[in-house]
Amino acid sequence: MSTSRHGHVTVLGAGSWGTTIASLAAAHTPTLVWARDPAAANEIQQEHRLQGYLPDLPLHPRLQATADLELAVSQADVLVVGIPSHSVRSVLEAAAPSIRPWIPIVSLTKGLEPVSGLRMSQVIDEVLPGHPVGVLAGPNLAREVLGGYAAAAVIAMRDQQVAEALQPIFSSSVFRVYTNTDVLGCELGGCLKNVIALAAGMADGLGVGDNTRAMVITRGLAEMSRLAVALGADPRTLSGLTGLGDLMATCMSPLSRNRHVGVQLAQGLAIDEIIAGMNMVAEGVKTVGPVMALAHGHAVEVPICAEVNAVINEGRAATDAFRGLRRVAATSEIHGVA
């Protein structure tokens, strides 16, 4: 494939997933990843590795890296945002004067802005109005994707033609990228599944069994669908890769950060202690509060999310959270989803 077809791609954020996506894109077109830490940028540039996040996995040899934000964004024809939700606004505000007009912006971030509760596409629209904005999401554990395991994702843009133009940048023979125009649904799926994964991790940490874990995942999907539909999403999106698919991977994999946090909570560790011991961000921890605000604002019942919020933000024990779920009355299985 010609490297001139897609122009230059810049990925903001040299975490595990941002770096993985940058490595995939580098196979097709000139790609530059921005790292906040100059040492990380130098490691990617010189050694084509990122040992702190992706140990022992080589990056594409043509991938470039820099710690200079202005340099990184000034040459971008496609801008990919892969930084934690709480930093997206400040980084884009700093980068805005150097970003060329009208270029497409793709978010990888699966979280809500902590204070405002806005989705990342909304934050991008506020800071950089006039750009086509979308998301790349799906059941994608970075180590497996970079390691060459078969996987799939969705590129969601409001304009189908833009989605189709971006689709081949991130695709490979084993990484299938589908398109969707339901940006809202794809984005919400990525945000909400992290909260449910915290609950699934607590279930695993408590040793409550596979039946309970299956219940948490399926009823969690029902909560995700209810809230997403109330906000205007297509319910079909939540049964796809960015909903059910991402939920399964995040709830079941030992590589999942949010599941890991849930397991640690079930073992009695305090949330601050758990976060302090991680070098990666578990977005569900910061997302659960804004999710509850959205649910209350749209009169949507989300009992699993409510119990997770009580553990994360109100000091409830994981064991008490699961006792709380037993008190929720069962209604129609498809209540609020159809």
pLDDT 10s digits, 310-329 = 999 999 998 888 776 666 65
Point out the catalytic residue in the list 6, 8, 193, 259.
193
Of 313, 329, 242, 300, the C-alpha closest to 272 is 313
Asked if residues 60 and 48 have their Cβ atoms less than 8 Å apart, the reply is yes
Per-residue pLDDT at 332: 64
pTM for this model (two decimals): 0.92
Indicate if 193 belongs to the active site.
Answer: yes
Residue 2 within a domain = no
Dihedral (Cα; 18, 204, 261, 192), 10-degree rounding = 60
For the chain, percent of residues with pLDDT exceeding 70: 94
For residue 297, give the 3-state DSSP assignment. helix
Pairwise pLDDT comparison (325 vs 74), residue with the higher score: 74
Domain assignment of residue 284, given as a range: 185-326
Residue 168 within a domain = yes
Residue 336 within a domain = no
Per-residue pLDDT at 219: 94
Asked if residues 108 and 81 have their Cβ atoms less than 8 Å apart, the reply is yes
If asked whether residues 164 and 273 sit together in one domain, one would say no
The count of domains in the chain is 2
If asked whether residues 25 and 103 sit together in one domain, one would say yes
- pLDDT tens by residue, 246-256: 999 999 999 99
CATH assignment of the domain containing 205: 1.10.1040.10
Question: Which residues, including other chains, have CB under 8 Å from residue 93's CB and lie 6 or more apart?
Answer: 127
If asked whether residues 241 and 279 sit together in one domain, one would say yes
If asked whether residues 37 and 114 sit together in one domain, one would say yes
If asked whether residues 173 and 192 sit together in one domain, one would say no
Residue 230 within a domain = yes
